[in-house]
Structure 1
């Protein structure tokens, strides 16, 4: 049996593609350094409700949580167009679409002097006729423009660019990102994805996104969450025969700026210890699984009798029902402070592990993981309340959990593999 397990690991690791991830300063840290974090927290009260709606109010609108990316710490590089234009993107298992800013974006987060929209895009509402056009059909050469805080995609620089004229709209809490859908060649980790659908933003909410280090988002959830009529990047990579196996995996480093990776089409067992434990996906839209309980020192404190959990690389914190999270905050002696919960840094070594039991296996999360050190003498709780209108017993396990446990997302078998990170 042991020999069979080794052979399985060898098979998993054949011909995988590894994409390095960079650990970055989070949007929260940037907002705090610029003294606008309190304004942000007031304007965007935390709620992931829209992200997990089964019945979306408008099928043509994708609903995303603005606060979801506040603590994102890892980004990868993807290239779009011919020749390639590079972008730092959040590789997000909690969404399915790819979008980046366009040079026509009318927001300080994109550019200080956006270019006027060319025909047929004379206005954002509507964007124009649904006919494909290529850069050669546009009139006038591109003009120099002051750069914004993010890289912006320029259709005029890509010979393989096509656009459908279809609007996309992402709702972020009380604000929104709007733009249009396009098609172009996407390169990720040496893989070349031809005619990939992606969004180009024309408007981004307020000025807060200019404090984000990432340019856009690349979703890795199931295609049911994608914008209608489009195929996500991962699915196209598989359909185009660019991967040996229909799976991907994440290893998130705990401290170093480098070392984190996304693996496509295989698994490298040197990134984890022991054996992978497999958990079936309970609902193939998000990477959703059934959890047994959450406990401290043998006492169940949440998820009593079972609940649902979503493994989400686009969320850094551990999010759950507000009343249960509040109970955890009290148990770890966290005190409310301007929309966050502060923990005495000197007590971290005395705080208990919090045990997530999944499919009969215990996954401890120590205080050194769930308490975030923001400044030399300031520590914050890594738990945050999730207000879900339909599924009150839903938890979202973000990077705090993923830094501890190497995670395989197996689309072929609709399951998630977990093992202690090396």
Structure 2
């Protein structure tokens, strides 16, 4: 058959008197038969079907191939016993035609989803809050490579929902992992983990069973908000979908010091953050995918399925995006600081009203390793008040309002900058001109002396929140009486340190929308999207998806956008152009 004839024909397969038409090209059929040969079934075809062999010069296939006619390919079985083989043939055909091959530079990873539980959500809140409180002396947000023990703060995975499967070694040993954009290392339990209970509940990597294993042996520790893991580095091939990343450095965990990992539904973590926060400066898996030319584009994307009844939990696409998973166009914003996938976010609104917290901009991190939305206490308190979430009565807050409310009002009305009010009152004391306490970020000219705050007391922090609330109400031209009535109500709605933030499930429909401003465009979350439900029937409990997180400037105020946000907005992580893209999920 001539090349011109081959270019126009469409293959047809006759199976039990029915013709199935496959719109494909000859090379795809070649691909299918190569897979068929690898399954060692071709010998049956040669001996049992008696296929005729055409001119070898007309095809790239080795050995016997199908007889080709310009009008199509007709395959006729001679024995009914070969139906099983024929079914395998059709399966390989569908695999080749319908699934993306790894040579295309795009690989899809299906995700599994677990249901959230009340205990896990509350534990996650407490652990993350404790991590922030205890990290001040460690300069938590500085470059991690300079510390004795590398630290990945804010991580605890107690509320992680989405997992996928990878393989390590040759032949591959399978592990369920969290694909986590908030960290950068790959770790799994080691067969050499003898004294941690968690290791006995999960799959363990056995280096002696892998022909591609290379010894490294460098010890390492990762501290999380809820505990730590310790182990040593090793090197082996890592299989992610159809891709095989060769010579990947990863951590064999020999100690998992947290109850979190005992109860976890996952074996390990595959970090998708930047190398800047990688423990031991290990090259992340994603970097090696790009370096080894395994993906066509330096992009990966997340689609998280919010349907609790769906079997498919979501999908990660390495090397591109799937247009079926989003609507419209993505809004792109630049990554502002490598390490985390961090960007600058604009104003934050409850209903149609600004909270004033991010009016001058806030940092935000997209984190697939958590379900929650974390933000400044002052903002979360206003959310709690708006949705009727249970909080705690703050004696410090009421004390500030009763003793210093009038003075705060007078100073703001007279034009004193909000970031100077608490220092003028004397609740926050500084030995210089720069205000760096929690909640308010100020820009000071470079010639001013660097100052450190010594007023990090509870009263100082509460004063800052009160100033933000009063200032925001002043912008709305509220009367003094209404302002302080509202502020006193907020004092009763501060997020509980124990994590409880339950609400009335019957009132969800009357709650306000929450809006994040990203790239000057509004990204709205409805109550149905930011309220988490656990349990079923009369045992259903509704919980706010927001938690308090106060991070000091220059890294704060900071928001962490977890799965609650990513489930609503399809997210593109553009590594090549250092930007993030958000579009309505489909």
TM-score normalised per structure 2: 0.59
Give the structure 1 partner of residue 348 of structure 2. Answer: 294
State the distance in 1 between where 2:243 and 2:190 align: 23
Between stretches 221-230 and 352-361, larger displacement belongs to 221-230
The counterpart of 1:156, out of the listed 208, 228, 231, is: 208
8 Å CA contact retained: 1:64, 1:170: yes
Shift of 1:237: 0.6
Contact conserved, 2:178 with 2:369, CA < 8 A, in 1?
yes
Superposed displacement of residue 67, structure 1: 5.4
Q: Secondary structure at the match of 2:171?
A: coil
Mapped contact 2:368–2:563 kept (Cα < 8 A): yes
- Asked whether the 8 Å contact 1:46–1:67 carries over to 2, the reply is no
Q: Secondary structure at the match of 1:283?
A: coil
Q: How does 1:270-285 map to 2 (within 5 A)?
A: 270-285=324-339
Equivalent residue for 1:374? Answer: 534
**Matches for 1:347-358 after TM superposition, within 5 Å:** 347-358=507-518
In structure 2, what is the equivalent of residue 63 of structure 1?
Answer: 151
5 Å-filtered alignment, 1:20-419, equals 20-26=110-116, 28=117, 45-47=129-131, 53-56=141-144, 59-65=147-153, 68-105=156-193, 106-111=195-200, 149-173=201-225, 175-255=227-307, 256-301=310-355, 302-336=357-391, 338-376=498-536, 377-390=540-553, 391-419=555-583
Residues 283-313 of structure 1 deviation map (CA, whole Å, 9 limit, x = unaligned): 1221111111110232111312211111111
Q: Which moved more, 1:44-53 or 1:299-308?
A: 44-53
SS in 1 for 2:288: helix
Given the superposition, is the C-alpha separation of residues 396 and 152 from structure 1 closer, same or farther in structure 2, using an over 3 Å criterion?
same
1:381-417: CA deviation from partner (whole Å, max 9, x where unpaired): 1001113244331101010000011111001111111
Contact 1:252 1:259 in 2 (8 A): yes
CA contact under 8 A between 1:107 and 1:206: conserved in structure 2?
no
C-alpha contact 2:162 2:313 (8 A) present in aligned 1: no
Q: Between Structure 1 and Structure 2, whose CA radius of gyration is higher?
A: 2
Specify which structure has the higher proportion of helix: 2
Deviation at 1:16, TM superposition (A): 2.0
Q: Give the structure 1 partner of residue 108 of structure 2.
A: 18
Give ranges in structure 1 of 5+ residues lacking alignment: 1-13, 112-148
In the alignment, the residues of structure 2 paired with residue 264 and residue 217 of structure 1 have an alpha-carbon distance, to the nearest angstrom, of 17
Shift of 1:358: 0.8
List runs of 5+ in structure 2 lacking aligned partners. 1-103, 392-495
Distance (whole Å) between structure 1 residues aligned to residue 314 and residue 344 of structure 2 = 27
Which stretch of structure 1 is more off in the superposition, 221-230 or 316-325? Answer: 221-230
Deviations 1:257-279 (A, max 9, x none): 41510000111111101111111
Q: Give the deviation of 1:57 after TM superposition.
A: 8.5
Structure 2 distance, partners of 1:174, 1:243, is 35
TM-score under structure 1 length normalisation: 0.81
- SS at 1:18's partner residue? strand
Distance in 2 (CA, whole Å) between partners of 1:174 and 1:25 is 20
Q: Distance in 1 between matches of 2:525 and 2:240?
A: 32
Report how many residues are paired: 366
**Offset at 1:59?**
3.0
Tell me if structure 2 keeps the 8 A contact 1:77–1:88. yes
The structure-2 alpha-carbon separation of the partners of 1:15 and 1:198, relative to structure 1 and needing over 3 Å to count, comes to closer
CA distance in 1, matches of 2:197, 2:295: 38
- Greater share of strand: 1
What is the RMSD of the two structures over their aligned residues, measured on CA atoms? 2.2
Helix, strand or coil at the partner of 1:267: coil
Q: Aligned in 2, Cα 1:252/1:303: closer, same or farther, shift over 3 Å?
A: same
- Structure with the larger RCO, 1 or 2 (CA within 8 Å, 6+ apart): 1
Which 4+ runs in 1 deviate beyond 4 A? 37-46, 48-52
> 2:124–2:159: 8 Å Cα contact kept in structure 1?
no
CA shift at 1:58, angstroms?
Answer: 5.0
206-215 or 62-71: which moved more?
62-71
